[in-house]
Every structure is written in structure tokens, then in C-alpha cells.
Amino acid sequence: MAVPQNSNETSYLLPPNSKDWEEQSIPDFVYGQKELILEGIQWPRTAPSLLDRIARSRFDSVLCSAWRQRMELGLFRYCLGKLQTQTLPGPVGFVAQLNVERGVQRRRPQNIQSVKQAFDPEQFNFNKIRPGEVLFRLLREPDLPGAVQQEDIYVMINVSPLEWGHVLLVPAPTRGLPQRLLPAALRAGIEAVLLSSHPGFRVGFNSLGGLASVNHLHLHGYYLAHRLPVEGAPSEPLDPGGHLHLLQALPAPGFLFYTSGPGPDLEALVGRVCRATDYLTDHEIAHNLFVTRGAPPGKTSPSSALTGVRVILWARKSNFGVKEGEAFNVALCELAGHLPIKTSQDFGTLTEAAALALIQDCLLPPAQAEEIQATLVDLIAKDEQ
């Protein structure tokens, strides 16, 4: 991996000759508080195609231009064209997309046996990627309120993309961190969502046993030009302080955390979420996490304004490996309502009821789910004392 360096005139594009890629330094994307977009990001009231007219933020422009160039240069496992997309009939509003190539071409998952499995440098990891796959290093200025020292976050292409702009956020790859969520990684993911002016740029995390295919700490980020059910689904508070909510709506119940922007509120949210994921990891409970712009907790609706950032956490059954023959595998985006479908036949025949059955098959038994809920409520309460 090339060595990151600063540059007064940063270029995020690769030189035309592939022989020069190894020598090119990784550019830095440095951002400050003024670039975190807190207000005014909404879905167009009419056609989603109007998203193309939304002014891109600097983050969007850099990520998309660098990502597009890597696609044109053939650094992905397949060329991602416009994906066939449909909203499944029914009250949930599943967004299904046909992505045959990802089902066939993606890297086989590693042999994972435990949610808290140690990093193995002999297995594939993000220090072994090809030159040119890293787009930039994400760095924030120290002017952000409540800011703490940030890990180096490398933003690199996912060579088997789900959708346009699909990237991985990898904190300090040379440290060899296992796939266990850390505050610096979550903070970077939330701030990446706030750096984008696109309402459909989302970030997520799969634990080991939650369909993470590589045991090297990383988050996913990608664009999807469609609303998802979790953005405005109603919730009820679980603790007196209103810091933890239960998202009860379909497709799956989850724990909802919310922040209206950077500063102490965001830092407190990061701490709460990571205490919850630490508990789940330590007790061998697989989990998935999704970060999206969304409505505040409470009695909301699918069309509610996107006034802040929702972080949704799902505890689920462990699944070590990929189930063959299913229309989709259940991980972070499926729990949020985005279904990448593997075959044309399944894409043409999948119903909302069948999708819900696949998802609910991955959920914990009610008694265990209630026990976890009570424990997380206690954890949050102790944190507030």
C-alpha cells in the first residue's frame, strides 16, 4: 500500500499508466465542521431522478469521480451498470435490486467461527489489496466540537459493489484490527453520512457471524437513490433519558440511536452504540448496524423530514458462511429494507412475505431478544448516572 502524503493540489485520480500506481501517494481528504451538512437534505417529492440535480458536496464529488475512474480502469471484479430496481408491493416498502454479478463474483467469505475471532494476517485483509484501490484517507480538522483524536480512515473501493459508489471505510489498516466496531470507525461513518449532500448515502457494519466476509475492521458506504423503511419508522423509548429507542416496524425490530449533529451529542451516541456492540461481541451475539439520515425517534412516518442521523443496531442469529440458494443473504442493508437479489428468477418472483420470512429466520428467539433489550437498557442507564 502506498504511503499517504499531503499535497497542496490534491488529485484523487490515478495516473494513466498502471505502472505508476504503486508510487502514487494516497491523497488526504481533510474536512472541517463547516462541511458537515446538518440541514436541508431531503428526498425529492417527485421522481428520484431529480436527485441528479442536487448539488454534490465536495465529499460526493471526490468519492464519485475517483470511484468512477477505478471502474473505468477495470479495478472492480465486474462493471456495475444501472441496476434493475423495484419496490416490492406491500406496506414495508422493500427496495429490491437485481445484482447477479455480485452473487457470482464476490470473494468467498473467510472461515469464521466466532464473533470475537482474532485477526489473522495470513488471511485476506486490506493490507493485501492492489495499488489504486484506495481512493483517499479521510481526515478531520481538530475544529470539530468535542472532537477526539481520529484514526486514519482509508476509503477504498469495494471490488464487488452493491451499488454506485460502494466503498469501504477501513481504520488504520496496518494495525490489523479484527471486525469489532470501535468508536473511531463509527464516528467516521456517521461523519461520512453528514459530509454527503445525497440523502441516500448510507454507512453500515456487519459483525463476524453477521455476514462480515473479511475479519479486518471495516464499514461499508454506498449510494442508493431510494428511501428505505428505517428512515422514518416510528419507535418507542426504552430508557428515561430517551437515548435508546426500539424500532418496532418491519422489516425487523432494532435498537435506534439518534443524533442531530456533531459535538457532544454525537460523541455520546458513539459511546452508547459501541458499549452495546461490545456487549454483543463479548457474548458471541452477531449484529448488524446501519447509519442513515432520518427522522427523530418517536411517532414518525416514512415521509418524515431527515433532520438528523439514525443509527440502527440489530442483534441476530449468528450465520458463519453464506446460504446458497436463497434470494438474498441477510446483513446490514437487507435489515434496513434494501434487498440485493442474486438471480433474475428470484427478482421476478420475490414477494414481501417471502422477503420477511427470510429476514425473520435470522432474528433471535423472543426470549433472548428481550433479555438483550433489558441488558442494553441497563447499560445505557448506568452510562447516564
Tens digits of residue pLDDT in 38-96 = 998 999 876 555 566 778 999 999 999 999 999 999 999 999 999 999 999 999 999 99
When pLDDT is averaged across residues 331-337 and rounded to a whole number, the result is 97
Tens digits of residue pLDDT in 291-323 = 999 999 997 766 678 999 999 999 999 988 666
Residue type, 102: R
Q: What angle do CA 58, 190, 311 make, to 5 degrees?
A: 140
Please provide the DSSP assignment of 131-147 as one string: TT-EEEEEEE-TTSTT-
Task: Say which residue, 325 or 335, is predicted with more confidence.
Answer: 335
Sign of CA dihedral 90, 95, 98, 100: negative
Read off φ and ψ for residue 234, nearest 5 degrees. Answer: -70, 160
Question: Which grid cell sits at 265?
Answer: 451529542
CB 204 within 8 A of CB 336: yes
Tens digits of residue pLDDT in 199-253 = 999 999 999 999 999 999 999 999 999 999 999 999 999 998 899 999 988 899 9
Q: Among the options 218, 243, 287, 338, which is catalytic? A: 218
**Ramachandran region, residue 111 (left: φ > 0; alpha: ψ -120 to 50; beta: rest):** beta
In the structure, how many helices (H) and strands (E) does the chain have? Answer: 8, 14
Tens digits of residue pLDDT in 130-186 = 989 999 999 998 765 555 557 789 999 999 999 999 999 999 999 999 999 999 999
Q: What is the pLDDT of residue 216?
A: 98
Residue type, 125: N
Mean pLDDT in the chain? 91
Q: Which residue has the cell 434494501?
A: 338
- Cα 40 off chain centre by: 22
CB 57 within 8 A of CB 195: yes
287 counts as catalytic: no
Nearest-10 crossing angle of helices 366-384, 264-282: 140
| Beta-strand pair 219-223/308-316 | unpaired
Q: What is the DSSP letter of 345?
A: H
Residue type, 359: I
Q: Which residue has the cell 484490527?
A: 177
Q: Which of 157, 274, 177, 163 is nearest to 226 (CA)?
A: 163
Give the distance between the most distant pair of CA atoms in the chain.
Answer: 59
Q: What is the DSSP letter of 292?
A: E
Q: What is the pLDDT of residue 8?
A: 44
Spatial distance between the Cα atoms of 300 and 142, rounded to a whole number of angstroms: 35
The 10 Å CB-count burial string (b at 16+, else e) for 234-258 is: bbeebbeeebbbbbebbbbbbbbbb
Q: Which domains does the chain have, with CATH numbers?
A: 26-382 (3.30.428.70)
CB 178 within 8 A of CB 185: no
Q: How many other CB atoms sit within 10 Å of the CB of residue 125?
A: 21
Q: List 7's β-bridge partners, or say none.
A: none
Nearest-10 crossing angle of helices 264-282, 183-195: 130
Spatial distance between the Cα atoms of 385 and 382, rounded to a whole number of angstroms: 5
Q: Which of 241, 282, 267, 254 is nearest to 359 (CA)?
A: 254
Question: Which grid cell sits at 103?
Answer: 452473487
116 half-sphere exposure, CB direction, 13 A CA radius:
9
Question: Which grid cell sits at 223?
Answer: 449510494
CB 151 within 8 A of CB 172: yes
Q: Which residues contact 131 (CB under 8 A, 6 or more apart)?
A: 1, 2, 18, 21, 22, 24
251 cis-preceded (ω within 30 degrees of 0): yes
Q: What is the pLDDT of residue 7?
A: 40
Question: Which grid cell sits at 118?
Answer: 482474532
